[in-house]
Structure 1
Amino acid sequence: MPTTTPRRLAAALAAAALGLTAACTAGGGGDQSGSGPDAGEKQTIEVWHGWSAAHEVKAFESAAAGFHKAHPNITVKLVKDQTDERISNAIRGGNPPDVVSSFTTDSVGQWCQSGAWQDLNPYVSKSKLDLNQFPKVVQEYTRYKGRRCAMPLLADTYGLYYNKALMKGEQPPKTFTELTALAKKLTKRDPDGTIRVAGFLPSVQYYEHQAQHLASQWGAKWLTPAGKANFAGDPAFRAYLQWNKSLIDWYGYNNVKKFLRSIGQEFESSNPFEKGQVAMAVDGEWRTKFMQEEAPNVDYGTAPAPVPDGQQARYGGGFVIGTVIGIPRGAKHAQAAWEFVRYLTTDTTSLVTFANALGNVPTTITSLGSPQLALPPQFQTFLQVFKNPNSFTTPPTPNGNDYVVKFQQFVQDQWEPGKVSDLDQALKDLDGKVDESLKLAGG
């Protein structure tokens, strides 16, 4: 995802998107791949994307220029800094652009089910596009119930960052038991318990340590095969919560809150990992670019995030999510739009240009191995995690990631502060709330 959109706001953006479902439910079914002028005719397509920083916009412009060189009859008009809400409003109003891009996969379920974003299966079939050039996890988060309404355009992959100076020769942990022991060993505190250096902060309020990212390391199945909430049914959630609370209690909840209030912003040089206030942290691949620019003197390494004891065979995988691109219902130049989407998501030069400029993971297997990738050595971890068959994502639903938001709120507001007396009942209650929301959304 782009550096100008904080990933910690993804949950809030997805929650806001819940209100967009009704705006995108009317019509839109069927094969629209033959609508509009033939791709070989002279025409101009309009493309909306969310990037806004100068270097990000320049990267997109370079990719569009490469497409125009290959398709000189198609001129591309780029419109930057567009949000999911603006996209959905344009579709609802019957005046959408030809191509749309979103930073989050959270709305894919909504867009696919409602037809707000066209089903791309007919386009894929006609162009004989081989989807196996994308890793399995990418294929999963760009479709919903067999309907592929999006294509992948760059990815965010999560792993473990560690400060080598603070580690003092220790190797990065591979299990959560090892992580916990090392976190305690590396933590430095004042006599009153105030945390000066945190070995590892388990709280979901710490940047990318959101429940979505860490609970998934336990192999948690967020939904049942029938599409219902699975918090009470999957013991992985209980195991994650018990680990989370145990380490928070070791620090002391009030000390954790105090530390969280004292640290800087995630996407500024005051980030505590960049300042040596945190020894280990789970974060996305984009942090390598921030380290280059904001903390070049910090000696750090990267590794896959840990897994629970007994699940060592899954080590090497990690949480994956990414930017998606598609063709909205009512696009006036659908055939030319598909040529642009196909080029942008499969052309190795284009993907590598994007990856180099934004510090994100390119999304085809060929681009992952391109010698033109010019990224820090620590970035290699994320390329390997992305390709690992044990990597995973959270499943799409017709109301976005509402189930993730509700679990995050539960952990933050009830579990970590110690307000839950009966965890089994609390998880059953949470299942009920999620299922009710899914039912209202048509799930």
Structure 2
Amino acid sequence: MFPRHRRLVTALIVTLTATACTAGSGGSATESGPKAEAPQTIEVWHGWSAPHEVQAFDDAVAGFRKLHPNITVKLVKGQDDTKILNAIRSGNPPDVVSSFSTNNVGQFCSSGALQDLTPFLKKDKVDTSVFPQTVQTYTQYKGVRCTLPLLADDYALYTNKALMKGSQPPKTISELTTLAKKLTVRNPDGSIKVAGFLPSVTYYEHVGEHVAPSFGVNWLNGQGRANFATDPGFTKYLQWQKSLIDWYGYDNIKKFVHSMGQEFEASNPFEKGKVAMAIDGEWRVKFLQEEAPTVQYDTTPVPVNDDRQNAYGGGFVTGTIIGIPRGAKHPQASWEFVKYLTTNTDALVTFANGLGNVPSTIPALSSPKLTLPPQFRTFLDVFKNPNSTTIPSTVNGGDFVVKFDAFVQDQWEPGKVPNLQQGLQSLDDKVNSALKLAGG
């Protein structure tokens, strides 16, 4: 898994007819198609496209090729969820797919687009306790485990040492707010020259999905319905966010955002010394190492609201997922590939080192072969922290997150919401209507 830019929270509102999750005709999924020992070629789709990403994936697969010389693995880069679902619907899917969006697991599993891997796991007696609890949560939906984790992403606070001017990284939201104001440098016209911290959801990884957990939010209630108007954490988050936006000036933030470089290029404003503190994924360590090696920085857990200081150390966790599509022509060989890539410690460590991502099994997390910089330790700790959270799965993917960020960006930040409670209630109604329409 790699940069969250590939894993943007998008709701794939695609209707898929759930059919038997077997490949070919007759027999169970674990027995259909050619035997794993037979000579065959499997096609594997993944989303990575940058040269170092593609190479990292190929390096991770090298061990599988040696172990299974009879299976030729054809890797196809740059594939997203829309392409994957279109291929499945057309009846001509690849044998294995990986996705950057855990938000779509509910849709993948409930529709049968990806096969239930439980029979394969049971047949080979794979102990799923090798996967931390958080990743076990986001790889299944209502008891159907149609994916397995393939590396993980989590989020922490990056601080530019030079811009911090001796200040310690904040642990609470109030400390973050104070530092954001202290470290901000304005131009003579009041516009932003250097931002201490940008609270807007339009700033790369500062979307609600990554920041709101600091306020202890529960996205859905016990009935699986939207919780925005009921959970006080959302109100606290939004009121804090808006107060800091107003301090900067909404127009100033818009101007600064429009002037920013690309998130995954050397022009990234944190790498250029234009932002003192930023929430970002673990991959930024690798980018800084390659694109801005002279920048001195720290990584620490994302600050938490002042009434949740005992939760400090956790963070938002997600990851790349991998599975076998409905209609795959070589399910047994595909399973051998999925099992190897998700449980083999050397493969995961090789992949993690190449991409700068978090290994997704407990043994790989403690492997002495991990060769990532010291700043990466924060992400390993966040990943294992019991206070870390992820996004719940729904039948229509991340639609509720998409609607929330749209509400924040288009209505809340510009000051178009006269009554926050009413606005959140209206948002709840829209999300719940969409869930109902999707069969949730």
Q: TM-score range by the shorter chain?
A: over 0.9
Deviations 1:41-64 (A, max 9, x none): 333222121222222222222222
Deviations 1:239-296 (A, max 9, x none): 0001101111111112211221222111121111111111101001111111111111
Taking structure 1 as the reference length, what is the TM-score of the superposition? 0.95
Q: Tell me the residue number matched to 1:202.
A: 199
How far the C-alpha of 1:409 sits from its partner, in A, is 0.6
CA contact (8 A) 1:48 1:97 kept: yes
Q: Tell me the residue number matched to 1:170.
A: 167
Q: Tell me the residue number matched to 1:409.
A: 406
How far the C-alpha of 1:151 sits from its partner, in A, is 0.4
Q: Tell me the residue number matched to 1:92.
A: 89
Q: Tell me the residue number matched to 2:5.
A: 6
The yes-or-no answer on 1:161 pairing with 2:153 is no
CA contact (8 A) 2:115 2:325 kept: yes
Matched position secondary structure for 1:101: strand
Amino acid at match of 2:5: P
The yes-or-no answer on 1:108 pairing with 2:101 is no
Structure 1 stretches lacking a partner, 5+ long? none
| Superposed counterparts of 1:27-42, under 5 Å | 27-29=19-21, 32-42=29-39
CA contact (8 A) 2:49 2:77 kept: yes
Paired with 1:258 and 1:90, the residues of 2 have a C-alpha distance of 41
Q: Tell me the residue number matched to 1:396.
A: 393
Amino acid at match of 2:76: V
Paired with 2:262 and 2:42, the residues of 1 have a C-alpha distance of 38
Which moved further from structure 2: 150-159 or 188-197?
A: 188-197
Amino acid at match of 2:389: F
Matched position secondary structure for 2:150: strand
| Superposed counterparts of 1:54-65, under 5 Å | 54-65=51-62
CA contact (8 A) 1:174 1:315 kept: yes
Amino acid at match of 1:147: V
The alignment yields a C-alpha RMSD, in angstroms, of 1.5
The yes-or-no answer on 1:428 pairing with 2:403 is no
Amino acid at match of 1:82: Q
- 4+ residue runs of structure 1 moved beyond 6 angstroms? none
| Superposed counterparts of 1:247-258, under 5 Å | 247-258=244-255
The yes-or-no answer on 1:25 pairing with 2:20 is no
Amino acid at match of 2:343: T
Paired with 1:224 and 1:103, the residues of 2 have a C-alpha distance of 25
Matched position secondary structure for 1:311: helix
How far the C-alpha of 1:80 sits from its partner, in A, is 2.1
Q: Count residues with an aligned counterpart.
A: 435
Paired with 2:282 and 2:201, the residues of 1 have a C-alpha distance of 19
Matched position secondary structure for 1:154: coil
Amino acid at match of 2:2: P
Deviations 1:193-251 (A, max 9, x none): 21111111101111110111101221211011111000011000000001101111111
Q: Tell me the residue number matched to 2:352.
A: 355
Matched position secondary structure for 2:151: strand
CA contact (8 A) 1:91 1:328 kept: yes
Paired with 1:56 and 1:250, the residues of 2 have a C-alpha distance of 40
Paired with 2:340 and 2:105, the residues of 1 have a C-alpha distance of 21
Amino acid at match of 1:436: S
Paired with 2:273 and 2:386, the residues of 1 have a C-alpha distance of 33
Of 119, 132, 136 in structure 2, the residue corresponding to residue 139 of structure 1 is 136
How far the C-alpha of 1:191 sits from its partner, in A, is 4.1
Q: Identity over aligned residues, as a percent?
A: 67
Amino acid at match of 1:293: E
The yes-or-no answer on 1:192 pairing with 2:189 is yes
How far the C-alpha of 1:405 sits from its partner, in A, is 0.6
Q: Tell me the residue number matched to 1:51.
A: 48
Q: Tell me the residue number matched to 2:229.
A: 232
CA contact (8 A) 1:28 1:114 kept: no
Paired with 1:80 and 1:387, the residues of 2 have a C-alpha distance of 30
How far the C-alpha of 1:71 sits from its partner, in A, is 2.1
Deviations 1:308-363 (A, max 9, x none): 11211111111111111001111122122111101000111111111111111111
Paired with 2:117 and 2:42, the residues of 1 have a C-alpha distance of 18
Matched position secondary structure for 1:144: coil
Amino acid at match of 2:19: G
Amino acid at match of 1:91: I
Paired with 2:329 and 2:291, the residues of 1 have a C-alpha distance of 44
Matched position secondary structure for 2:227: coil
Paired with 1:38 and 1:29, the residues of 2 have a C-alpha distance of 18
Q: Tell me the residue number matched to 1:77.
A: 74
Structure 2 stretches lacking a partner, 5+ long? 23-27
Paired with 2:51 and 2:201, the residues of 1 have a C-alpha distance of 32
CA contact (8 A) 2:21 2:327 kept: no
| Superposed counterparts of 1:254-333, under 5 Å | 254-333=251-330
CA contact (8 A) 1:110 1:399 kept: yes
Deviations 1:13-55 (A, max 9, x none): x23x22x2x1x22412575222222223333222121222222
CA contact (8 A) 1:37 1:333 kept: yes
Paired with 1:231 and 1:393, the residues of 2 have a C-alpha distance of 16
Taking structure 2 as the reference length, what is the TM-score of the superposition? 0.96
Matched position secondary structure for 2:109: helix
Of 368, 373, 378 in structure 2, the residue corresponding to residue 381 of structure 1 is 378
CA contact (8 A) 1:28 1:116 kept: no
CA contact (8 A) 2:99 2:322 kept: yes
Amino acid at match of 2:151: L
Q: Tell me the residue number matched to 2:25.
A: none
Q: Tell me the residue number matched to 1:119.
A: 116
Q: Tell me the residue number matched to 2:178.
A: 181
CA contact (8 A) 2:101 2:321 kept: yes
